[in-house]
Amino acid sequence: MKKSYLLFLVIISMFMMSCGGHFFNPRYYYNKKDSGITEAPDTAPEKVPEQVPEYEDPFKNGDWNKPTYGGYDASSFKTWLFKVSFQGDKLPKYNFFNDTKGRVWIAGVLDWNNIDAQYYKAEDGENTSGTGLAVPSEVDISDMKIYKYEGKNPLYDSSGYLEGRIDRFNFYSIDGYATSSAHLQQYLIAVDTYSKFIFAFGAITGTKDAAFGNKIPSEFEAIEKHGDYDFYEYDPIGYVKADGTVVLYEHYITEFVASPTTYSPKVHTEFESMATHDEKGQGSSPYLKVDASTIDPNTILNNFKDKQYGIRDKLVLYTYKFDGTANTLTLTAEHFYDGELSNVTYTFSKVAGLTSAEYVSSSGGTIIVNGIEDYGKLKDGGSFEYVLNYSDDGPLFRYRVAGKTYKAEDGSYEYRFNPDGTSLDYYVNNNYVRSYTFSQEDASDRAVYKQTTAVYWGLRVADYQKDGSTIKDGALYWSGSSWASPGTTPTDGVTSTPGYLNVNIIKGGFTENVKGKVYKYRDYSEYDISSPLPEGYKPTGKSLILYTYTFSDDAQSLTISEETWNAGTVSKKYTIVSSLDSSAVYEYNGAQITVSIQTDNNTLYKDGVVVGTTSFTDYDPLFPDRVRGATFVKKDGEYISLTVGTIYNLEYKFNADATELTLTYSYSPDKYAEETFNYELYRYDDEAKNNYRGVYKCLNGGVAIFDIVYSWVTLTDNNTIKISKDYGPSYNPGSSDTLGYEAYRESK
């Protein structure tokens, strides 16, 4: 059987590329058998969570919201196992560790209260308990299962927390025996995998009698049902170091040892600062909401004095500048081509949060600015994080060329960039010849684009003099020849095969230029040619929507359609309000938008950003966007060649952003001998138009001397994954080996 199983792996890989420590001294259990059944906790929330303004939200402001806070990444808790022993005074000793015995967390199990969890089986004696006696001083904990609950409080339903808050927390419990009669079923601690702080999350609500008149906890409930705060708002009881060592704070050690059967977490009003990663660093939780009215304004203003923050959003540079008192700040917005768009001065009004202040303009407009990362960055309620002393190198190259067309002086050839500048099409005499894909940025005015494998070209934009005036970025130049790699491709000073910014605006105003035209755009900005993709790469689904702007024959109306791939289309018909030479205002249900053209009426802008071109080529969404969160199944038998036989219950399951894929199947309809393979997104196809497939790397597969198997995952249509018989097996990320067998998208 073992030989057959190993043979199968070789063949298939060719084709598939709390309450801190509610433990109680075992002497209380000696000669005492369990006499009752524990009651499952009531997890229903006590109240509906209140919404919090972003500038006040401790889950969105502060260094502790980074997965790398504490000097190591939150992903460590994915693989670290957890253990707990107990001293004679009942104080728990926690530890996280990388296992060397092949054990992993097993998902899809239920704890003793039928709550979904992951678990692993600890070895007898791996965890111990002190007895409080001279002899024996400790006993082994045996038959012990250790449970982990990722992003789910086993004692309190997630609907009791604001969306997303609980995702970063892991909760732990144990079920084992300190002696043959001392049955320990305890909910222990919650760990914030971001901040690395440890919290108590459970309250003992019931006990049963034990030997010598002592009590054993037998029922638990969420601390939210017995206090005024959510568990993460109470003072943390400790933290986890980078090597998995757990440090417990003095306040917890003292309070728990004094009363282990009634211990409850607290908010210590005497703590004047947040807890830190230090043995003497006890303090308040970073998630404890603070009353803004009690904060001295100078504690915030002093950190803003004479500071300047900035950020660039494509073609627009935004700058916040505080004066010497921080009582006044000025916000400016400057467009790369059009110059200053706005300049507004605000005056300090009041404290808005722990590190935030409200400012008011002369017209009555208000903004709230929030200092984050020790005031190294600033947020204002939007999506941007403004950087202190921001150094602006100008827009990225692809934003400078987005949607533009450059033509030869004699009009014989032209270069048409797509709306986000990630690709361009080359035309000769108005006939399509080939496409190029963005490869790397060399400088704001220079970049490398890829034609095909080992064929790269250097591009540069420059100002162009025409009829006595300067056209900014009016010329596009190419390298004289192609190069084999992007790193060696020259871009600085290249002057070959120039193209000049297409100028085709006709007289008669905006409507004459756009009437009857259709502009389209799909956001391919997350397409990345890197192999492998950058660490932490996570596509967000931007490419799922095809935007279409359709003008009526007289341009008196504009229909904007958003077609969501594999779903449906929503359209809104706008009516013209007013128009100028290069722009117009349209209205729908009282909401107005301004659209414009610049030098080329084949490109449409909205709020200064390209929203479509008449020459846009649609390749459908990026592969991971097409399959994000999807499951593909085939429950009938699927034959595998090379004598392996028939498999059943074939399933491809993609995570929420499709950067991870789990492939499972079994050898019989009842899921006998189920196999599981885990994959991660490794790279896209070299050609942007081949969005129907992506390369995934197997994390737990391989054959013989090959440690990693790379495989294509291919869609043959919107809803089908299917093997292509044209591809052969290979074991490198550039191969054309396909992963898996035919399966169909499961409808939601």
d(CA 148, CA 169): 10
Supply the mean pLDDT for the chain.
Answer: 86
Calculate mean pLDDT across residues 467-494: 96
Residue 286 lies in a domain: no
662 pairs with which residues across the strands?
Answer: 653, 678
How many H helices and E strands in the chain?
7, 46
Mean per-residue pLDDT, 404-426: 95
Distance from C-alpha of 574 to C-alpha of 551, rounded to nearest angstrom: 10
pLDDT tens readout for residues 41-64: 889 998 899 998 887 889 988 889
Tell me the C-alpha distance between 155 and 171, whole Å: 10
Do 65 and 191 fall within a single domain? yes
202-211, 360-369, 507-516: least confident range: 202-211
Instruction: Please report which confidence band the pLDDT of residue 677 belongs to, taking 50, 70 and 90 as the band edges.
Output: confident
- Residue 37: inside a domain: no
Confidence of residue 218 (pLDDT cuts 50, 70, 90): confident
Which residues on neighbouring strands pair with residue 181, listed in sequence order?
A: none
Which H/E stretch holds residue 303? Answer: helix 298-304
Say whether both 253 and 298 belong to one domain.
no
Query: Is 730's pLDDT higher than 70?
Result: no
- Residue 436 forms part of a structural domain: yes
Same domain, 131 and 177: yes
Instruction: Let me know if residue 592 belongs to a domain.
Output: yes
- Label residue 215 by pLDDT band (50, 70, 90): low
Tell me the residue range of the domain where 663 lies.
Answer: 624-745
Q: How far apart are CA 478 and CA 497, in angstroms?
A: 6
Are 560 and 702 within one domain?
A: no
Answer yes or no: is 44 within a domain: no
User: Can you read off the two tokens belonging to residue 26?
Assistant: 């075992």
Residue 28 counted as domain residue: no
| 632/602 same-domain check | no
The span from the CA of 303 to the CA of 348, in Å, is 14
CB 174 within 8 Å of CB 155: no
CB-neighbour burial class of residue 566 (10 A; exposed 0-12, middle 13-18, buried 19+): middle
What does 238-257 look like in DSSP terms, one character per residue? EEE-TTSBEEE-HHHHHHHH
Tell me how far apart the alpha carbons of residues 207 and 209 are, in angstroms, rounded to a whole number.
Answer: 7
Given 601, 621, 641, the domain boundary residue is 621
Instruction: Give backbone dihedrals phi and psi of 202, rounded to 5 degrees, phi first.
Output: -120, 155
Per-residue pLDDT averaged across 357-366, rounded?
95
pLDDT over 50 (residue 705): no
What's the distance, CA 360 to chain centroid? 34
- Cβ atoms of 665 and 685 closer than 8 Å: no
Q: Are residues 491 and 527 in the same domain?
A: no
CA angle, residues 218, 223, 229, in degrees to nearest 5: 175
What's the pLDDT at 663?
84
pLDDT at position 640 is 52
Copy the structure tokens of residue 206: 């019931």
Chain segment 76-114, per-residue pLDDT in tens: 999 999 999 988 888 999 999 999 988 999 988 999 999
34 within domain boundaries: no
**Lowest mean pLDDT, pick from 236-240, 282-286, 641-645, 719-723:** 641-645
Q: Which residue has the higher pLDDT, 113 or 31?
A: 113
Going by their DSSP bridges, the two strands 138-150 and 116-121 should be labelled as antiparallel
Q: For the whole prediction, is pTM greater than 0.75? A: no
Which residue, chain included where needed, has tokens 């790269």?
456
Which of 603, 621, 639 is at the close of a domain? 621
DSSP annotation string for 559-627: EEEEEETTTEEEEEEEEEEEE-SSEEEEEETTEEEEEE--S-TTEEEETTEEEEETT-----S-HHHHH
Q: Is the CB of residue 170 less than 8 Å from the CB of residue 150? A: yes
Note whether 677 and 698 are within 8 A (CB).
yes
Instruction: For residues 701 and 254, give the distance between their C-alpha atoms in angstroms, rounded to a whole number.
Output: 49
**What does the block give as tokens for 135?**
């002899």
Give, rounded to a whole angstrom, the gap between the first and last alpha carbons of the chain. Answer: 39
Average pLDDT over residues 712-741: 55
Predicted confidence (pLDDT) at residue 740 exceeds the cutoff of 70: no
Domain count along the chain: 5
392 burial type by CB count under 10 A (0-12 exposed, 13-18 middle, 19+ buried): middle
What pLDDT score was predicted for residue 697?
A: 83
Q: What one-character-per-residue DSSP string does 408-477 give?
A: -TTSSEEEEE-TTSSEEEEEETTEEEEEEEEEEEEETTEEEEEEETTEEEEEEEEEEEETTEEEEEEEEE
pLDDT higher than 80, residue 652:
yes
Which residue type does 600 have? Answer: D
CATH number of 330's domain = 2.40.128
